Amino acid sequence: MAPTEKTAQKSDQSGTVTDETILKIAKEISIKFIEVGRITPATFEQSFKNIFSALETTVKKVK
């Protein structure tokens, strides 16, 4: 099982998603975007902030 799947399962069991979980998911998404060339070192900082913000907003809307 992938690390993000384990994290997601822990979050589902407790009913809340922590900032740490959101950071881990944002990291995984960022890595995938780097691998496919959508994020470069020059755009990483802003891209990561945008990814984290989008995830956080989505998670907090669900609650």
Model confidence pTM above 0.75: no
Distance of CA 4 to the CA centre of its chain: 9
pLDDT at res. 1: 47
Using 70 as the pLDDT threshold, list the residues of the chain that sit under it: 1-15, 62-63
Residue 13 confidence (pLDDT): 57
Q: What pLDDT is stored for residue 52 in this prediction?
A: 97
End-to-end Cα, the chain, rounded Å = 26
pLDDT score recorded for residue 11: 46
Q: How far apart are CA 53 and CA 27, in angstroms?
A: 12
The residues spanned by each domain of the chain are 29-35+43-63
